[in-house]
Amino acid sequence: MAERRRGAALEKALLDAAWEELSAQGYARFTMDAVVKRAGTSPSVLYRRWSDRDELAQATIAHRLRELILDIPDTGSLREDVLTLMREINATRAELIPTMFAQLAAHYQATGTRPSDLTDPTATGRKEATDVIFDRAVERGEVNPEHLTERIKSLPFDLLRHEILATFAPAADRTLQEIVDTIFLPLVTPGPGVIFARPHGGWTGAMRPAGP
Amino acid sequence: MAERRRGAALEKALLDAAWEELSAQGYARFTMDAVVKRAGTSPSVLYRRWSDRDELAQATIAHRLRELILDIPDTGSLREDVLTLMREINATRAELIPTMFAQLAAHYQATGTRPSDLTDPTATGRKEATDVIFDRAVERGEVNPEHLTERIKSLPFDLLRHEILATFAPAADRTLQEIVDTIFLPLVTPGPGVIFARPHGGWTGAMRPAGP
DNA sequence: GGAGTAAGATAGTCAACCTATCTAATGGAG
DNA sequence: CTCCATTAGATAGGTTGACTATCTTACTCC
């Protein structure tokens, strides 16, 4: 083994190997030994960076989230923007979300706290991304801004996340349309309703602005 | 130790001890040894009944679910019926749901299947229970039955479950009201909407008919 | 009152976490 | 170009917990 990896390249190789183990074996069967073997390295190299299995799992998920940044769609209609985003989440994160949840649950039950890098909607950029979509819809006069409470803005994504967690699989496209057409849009497009306001975080992941 | 437990009494003691471990330590730190010690028994007694840790965890959760059968409320209004049921779920199952999910995820990732006794809505009676509430609301003329798709009937309970899973804690009562008043009721009480039909299971648990 | 059944004790194997200690490749300083 | 600090990578071992095997002893049922 003449070529010896170092620094960022090594770290990426370790996290990629860890993700392959995590997605193939599931959180419960995720072992340090298997990651060591798959990455072709030694225990000390792993433990120098992450002090235990929990930390490695968390870093692996965070790394994966960073690789799965989504584009913010701009299709000209709220329905298509929301559906497009849901389809992207459905396609890219259906595998990640249950693993992420298992990690959150394990970490929470062990420590009483949740790893902030996996949940902070500001850090992950989710809230800002969907707000861009909703702001455009308001500008176009498609929706009444008074209907857009935090809970309703996150509603289609909450329901998608719930669906993925309940089935451990991507949702059918018909399901996404059903959520948007029979639940979300009827709530934001017609007459008045009782308005509440409350901060409401999410943990579906980060997004970046759409290109030119 | 002159008194030696047997049969159903022993089994209940084992499952109770297992539940105390499961809720105290969390799924990831749930160990057979600790259950053996807490129940004051021996490994063979456990392994005679459940062949591994996964099976014991599953049986423990199913046992707990059986102990937490909910009454079906009958308050005279759909809003109060749904809110009452959500409050009961929130109060009794907020601790159980994340553990249950961790077990489902572990079992699914290990085997590719999900333990049917934890998910089958017919076996757990959940679907029938909520249908009673909705049937009464239709009889009273409170809602248009055409609005009551399977997804919309389960909507408030799905959102509550999502909230519990996202926070690992019971939802605030204000949150329950927000879900019912700003999302659920506006969808089932006013004008028309696109109608879909699709079976949609749940796994919040079993209920029994309300008493006289 | 005796026999079969199952509770409970004890000891051991194996896998996986994590630590300690060592060797050697690599990049940078001079 | 050479030396040195850093850290990749190898190996071996302590510890915990899953699961098995074997044995003794209480309890139940006939």
Say yes or no: B60 and B91 in one domain: no
Inside any domain, residue B13: yes
Inside any domain, residue B165: yes
Say yes or no: B181 and B80 in one domain: yes
Residues A65/A126, Cβ–Cβ less than 8 Å: no
The closest of B86, B81, B75, B73 to B172, measured between CA atoms, is B86
Residues A102/B102, Cβ–Cβ less than 8 Å: yes
Inside any domain, residue A2: no
Inside any domain, residue A174: yes
The DSSP symbol for B29 reads G
Say yes or no: A18 and A95 in one domain: no
B31 reaches A (C-beta below 8 A)? no
**Which residue among A43, A65, A87 closes a domain?**
A65
- Lookup result for tokens 């959180």: A27
Say yes or no: A58 and A85 in one domain: no
Q: Which residues pair with B207 in a beta bridge?
A: B70
Residue A76 contacts strand C, CB under 7 A: no
Range of the domain at B39: 7-65
In this structure, what CATH number is given to the domain that contains residue A43?
A: 1.10.10.60
Inside any domain, residue B11: yes
The reported pLDDT for the residue numbered B210 is 61
The DSSP symbol for B180 reads I
Q: Tell me the per-residue pLDDT of A103-145, one tens digit each, with 9 for 90 and over.
A: 999 999 888 888 888 876 655 667 788 999 999 999 999 999 9
Q: Which residues pair with A70 in a beta bridge?
A: A207
In this structure, what CATH number is given to the domain that contains residue A77?
A: 1.10.357.10
Question: Within 10 Å of residue B22's Cβ, how many Cβ atoms?
Answer: 26
Q: What percent of chain B has pLDDT over 90?
A: 74
Say how many domains are in chain B: 2
Say yes or no: B76 and B170 in one domain: yes
Q: What is the mean pLDDT of residues B166-185?
A: 97
Residue A48 contacts strand C, CB under 7 A: no
Tell me the chain A residues in contact with residue B174 when contact means C-beta distances shorter than 8 Å. 196, 198
The reported pLDDT for the residue numbered B200 is 56
Say yes or no: B52 and B85 in one domain: no
**Which residue among B50, B65, B80 closes a domain?**
B65
Q: Mean pLDDT lowest for which of A88-92, A148-152, A208-212?
A: A208-212
- pLDDT band, residue B39 (cuts 50/70/90): very high
The DSSP symbol for B94 reads T
The closest of A81, A90, A157, A171 to A126, measured between CA atoms, is A157
Say yes or no: B53 and B78 in one domain: no
- Token pair for residue A118? 């996996």
3-state secondary structure of A70: strand
Strand C, nucleotides < 7 Å from a protein CB: these are 6-11, 16-22, 25-27
CB-based contact A98 B110, cutoff 8 Å: no
Q: Burial of A198 by CB count in 10 Å (0-12 exposed, 13-18 middle, 19+ buried)?
A: exposed
Inside any domain, residue B1: no
At A71, phi and psi to the nearest 5?
A: -80, 145
- pLDDT band, residue B193 (cuts 50/70/90): very low
Say yes or no: B79 and B155 in one domain: yes
- pLDDT band, residue A212 (cuts 50/70/90): very low
Say yes or no: A138 and A47 in one domain: no
Give B106 to chain A, closest Cα distance, Å.
6
Q: Tell me the per-residue pLDDT of A41-86, one tens digit each, with 9 for 90 and over.
A: 999 999 999 999 999 999 999 999 999 888 999 999 999 999 999 9
Q: Tell me the per-residue pLDDT of B85-119, one tens digit each, with 9 for 90 and over.
A: 999 999 999 999 999 999 999 999 888 888 888 87
Inside any domain, residue A1: no
Inside any domain, residue B2: no
Measure, in angstroms, how far nucleotide D5 C1' is from residue A2 CA.
Answer: 20
Give me chain B's average pLDDT, please: 89
**Which residue among A65, A80, A111 closes a domain?**
A65
Say yes or no: B117 and B148 in one domain: yes
For A26, the closest of B110, B175, B179 (CB atoms) is: B110
Question: Within 10 Å of residue B203's Cβ, how many Cβ atoms?
Answer: 19
Say yes or no: A104 and A202 in one domain: yes
